A and B are shown apart, each in its own frame.
Chain A
Amino acid sequence: MKDLLHIINQQELEQLIERYFDGMTTIEEEDMMRQVLAQCPWKSEVIDDARVVMGYFAAHSEQQQRQATHGMRQRIIGIAASIAIILAVGAFALWHQQQPSDVCIAYVNGQIVQDNDKVMALVANDLSKMDNAANAMTDQLSSLGEALELDNE
């Protein structure tokens, strides 16, 4: 920036601005003019007018950028919200799957039994049968163990 202020003085800047408003400047000159206007301490009617115009463009550009940023932010929030909803639905489904609903029912010879006590009595009967068989096996193993012990004596 200091280099630019060494290259151009206030008078030259004012001339450049006038040429700018006459549409006689090149793109490089306009870029330089913007940079000098943004940083230089000089004040005059021409320079101030130019600053207002350039400021407008800068503000306009900033507004566009803000709008674009706002739009992008809205999209990100939308995507995040969708993912959050999907994860919540998924978590609920998994939780629901892990918590089986209350069912207590039996089908006996094609007849439905829905009385909890009767169903649980059937369950107890099932378990009792298994217990008897398990005991029989344990008894057999005990007898086998005893027989082996006797054999070893």
Chain B
Amino acid sequence: MKRITIIILTCLLTTIAAMAQTGLNINRLFDGRYKKASGATEIIVTGVQAREIGLTVYHSLSVTDKNQAELVEGLVVKDGAQAVDKEVEYRNGQLYYGFYTMKKSKRDNRYIFYLNQNLARKSPKNIVTLIYMEGLATQEEIKKLIRK
């Protein structure tokens, strides 16, 4: 009896742990490595505050280091290849702006924004920003959200 219980419990927890992975390449960037890094800003918003802007998860990262920026761009491009919908702009062979709609995670929609301000025509800045959003919000609602 105990053995059956342990086997079932193990299977269940393994399944839950597997489901916790979102399967995106950019997850690598959100492993906490930038929390103590200078030249980086990481924002995590979930729960009540996220719901106030119509999301369940808001996770963003801004980096100024060139090598880190290249890493971010590479991972975004990889995920972008799997996107179900995308709006992208390349400048000088580099990704300047990207808005990707990813495959749903369970019931939630998932979106990735990317911006390399170094490629901006007006007042370029050495900042690359990545935003991951998750929630029931549709593409249009996300666009409205960034217009606010």
Residues of A bordering B, CB below 8 Å: 75, 78-79, 82-83, 86, 89-90, 93-94, 97-110, 112, 116, 119-120, 122-124, 126-131, 133-134, 136-137, 140
* B interface: dominant SS: mixed
Are the CB atoms of B131 and A90 closer together than 8 Å? Answer: no
B71 near A: Cβ within 8 Å? no
- Alpha-carbon separation in the docked complex, A112 to B36 (Å): 9
Are the CB atoms of A100 and B4 closer together than 8 Å? Answer: no
**8 closest A-B pairs by CB:** A102-B47, A100-B46, A133-B97, A104-B49, A107-B35, A131-B146, A106-B43, A127-B146
Residues of B bordering A, CB below 8 Å: 1, 4-5, 8-9, 12-13, 16, 19-20, 34-50, 53, 56-58, 60, 62, 87, 89, 96-97, 99, 106-107, 113, 115, 117, 120-121, 129, 131, 143, 145-148
The answer to whether A119 and B87 touch (CB under 8 A), given A126-B60, A127-B146, is no
Chain A residues with CB under 8 Å of B35's CB are 107, 110, 112
Q: In the complex, what's the smallest C-beta–C-beta distance from A94 to chain B, in angstroms?
A: 7
- Alpha-carbon separation in the docked complex, A124 to B49 (Å): 12
Q: In the complex, what's the smallest C-beta–C-beta distance from A108 to chain B, in angstroms?
A: 5
